[in-house]
Structure formats: C-alpha cells, structure tokens
Amino acid sequence: MCSTCCLCTVPTMTEGPPVAGLTMLGEQIYLLRRKQGNEIEVYDVVSNRFCHCLTIPDIRGFTDMTSCGHFLWLYISDADAECVHRLNLQGNASKWPVSAKPCGLSVNRAHNVLVACRSDHKIKEFSPNGDLIRDVTLSADLVKPWHAIELTSGQLVVCHGGYSDPVSRVCMISAEGSKTVCTHGGQPGTDTYQYMFPAHLAVDSDGSVFVADVKNRRVTLLSPRLHYIRQVVSRDQLQSGPGRLCLDAQRRRLYVADNIREGGQYTEGRVVVVTLVSV
C-alpha cells in the first residue's frame, strides 16, 4: 500500500443533509443522513445513481452504519435509544439494546458486530441476533473510543479522543483489550503525526489503516504497524471534516463523508470518492 497514489474525484452522491453513516453491500452504496425521517438512501456502485430508500422504524439518534456481506444485514447505531438496529435488504428490521451510547460500528470475520461505546469506555461484541459475546473494557489512556475494527490477527484497531481530550490517536490493542501493541498520534495537534478528532477507520486487505481526521480535515494512511505513510485526502479536497469512511477494496475506491460544521452543528454533507491506483 505504500506505493499507492490517490486521486480525488467529484462527489459521488448528491449534496444534502450531513452524512452519519456510509457502507456498501455488493453492487450498492448505502447512505444514512442526519435529517428528519428514518430512511437510508441506496445508490448503484457503478453509476452512483440513486436507486431507492429503505426505512428504519423507530430510530431516534443514529451515529454510524455498517454492513455484513455474509448475512446481507445493515446495522445502525442509535445513541439516543442506546441500541443497534438491524435491517435486511427487504426492509425487515429489529433492534437490540447496547446499555450504553453506541458510536462506530464494524463487522468482524465471525460476522459479529463490534460497537464502540464512548460513554462507558468499552468495545462490545454482539452476535448478529444481538447476543453479547464479549465486553472489552479499554485501558484508562484510551479516552472516548469512536470506532474499532478487528484485524485478521484478532487484534483491534481503535481511534479515540475528541476535540478537547488530552490524547487523540489510533491504537492497536490486544484482542482482550489489556495491552497496547502500537500507536500513532498523542497530544492533539495539526502536525503530520498528530490528530484532532480521529473519528472513523477503514482497513485494507493488507492491514493498512485509513483514518478520518475530522478537525484537521484530512484522511491519513498508516501501515499495518501504524507507521505514517501519507495523506490520501487533504483539506483542499474537502469542504469540511471527513466524518465516515467506506472502503471498496475490490474497485479500489475509498468513500469519504464530507460534512460541513457551522455554529457547532453539522449542517450539510456530501460523499467524495478517492480512487486508489497502484503504481
């Protein structure tokens, strides 16, 4: 991946309300916006044309979305209701409690759902039916976890730290959460090796890590051992902050949710596509 260059193209979906979730299943991209109503917009992955909407019953305050290609489920985290919603492609829905405010979501190789719980300092793993598999309590220095992804090794990559926290970084931790293997970042800042609110992650097939750095308005690429490689998206290519990432490894595309923040609130958003080209 260190020999990969990137080209940013035009937004792939129409501009509108801020983007809270972004994922893909097969030949379609699923887009969750912060707006009145409870719909997921569905787009064709080749043409980027709008196809239809799916409805999520009883959702209150969604924060992220992910998908499972094995069971063909969509999962949506709901911070206000402290639950995860599960939706199939026919629109059938259910939900289960998290007993905390869920943030970022991901699906591991066992097809279970990893939920980052910022409010109680944990990563929780649930089965596709909502049964709690494990409850990983993070060490005291991993403040406010936003998103976690399980690697093929079983280790977890976690991004943590908000606007005013003393530490803002990306960490690789042991499967049980007791040991920090390696880190990137530290004190918040604008330098190459610093972050200001690393909110979301994507991991490539070789273990390389993409990090959405919201306040610095960039997406950073790290090696499998979390060494800095380069910026794949710079602030000149974004209107504001990259809040969510979705990697299409097959087509070598990285989808980036670009949300505008005004007066302390996100007001509008779009999706930008980054084409990854090996040289």
| Annotated domain spans of the chain | 4-278
More confident residue, 38 or 2: 38
- Alpha-carbon span 5 to 13, nearest angstrom: 23
Q: Report the C-alpha gap between 229 and 210 in whole angstroms.
A: 10
Question: Is the pLDDT confidence value at 1 over 60?
Answer: no
Q: Residue 74 and residue 48: Cα distance in Å, rounded?
A: 19
What tens digit of pLDDT does each residue of 139-192 get? Answer: 988 989 999 999 999 999 999 998 788 999 999 999 888 899 999 999 999 999
Nearest-Å Rg of the Cα atoms of the chain is 17
Distance CA 91, CA 93 (A): 6
The torsion angles phi and psi of 172, rounded to 5 degrees, stand at -105, 125
Q: Let me know the angle formed at the C-alpha of 115 by 113 and 118, rounded to the nearest 5 degrees.
A: 175
Average pLDDT, the chain: 90
Q: Is the pTM of this model over 0.85?
A: yes
pLDDT at 36: 64
Render pLDDT for 229-243 as a digit per residue (tens, 0 to 9).
999 998 888 888 899
pLDDT in tens, 179-202: 999 999 999 999 999 999 999 999
Calpha distance 14→270 (Å, rounded):
6
Lowest mean pLDDT among 35-39, 117-121, 214-218, 272-276: 35-39
- Percentage of the chain exceeding pLDDT 70: 94
Q: For the beta carbon of residue 265, count every other beta carbon within 10 angstroms.
A: 9
Residue 59: is its pLDDT beyond 90?
Answer: no
CA angle 58, 125, 23 (to 5 degrees): 60
Residue pair 266/259 in contact (Cβ under 8 Å)? The answer is: yes
What DSSP state is assigned to residue 235?
G
CA gap 104, 16 in Å, rounded: 22
Of 60 and 227, the one with more pLDDT:
227
Q: Give percent of the chain with pLDDT exceeding 90.
A: 68
- Give the per-residue pLDDT at 178: 82
Indicate the fold that domain 4-278 takes in CATH: Neuraminidase (2.120.10)
| pLDDT of 8 strictly over 70 | no
pLDDT confidence band for 13 (50 / 70 / 90): low
User: What's the confidence (pLDDT) of residue 10?
Assistant: 47
Decide if pLDDT at 6 tops 80: no
Query: How many whole angstroms separate alpha carbon 66 and alpha carbon 105?
Result: 6
CB-count burial class (<10 Å; 0-12, 13-18, 19+) for 273: buried
Tell whether the torsion through CA atoms of 254, 37, 163 and 148 is positive or negative. Answer: negative
Give the confidence band of 34 by pLDDT, cuts at 50, 70, 90.
confident
Cβ–Cβ < 8 Å for 253, 232:
no
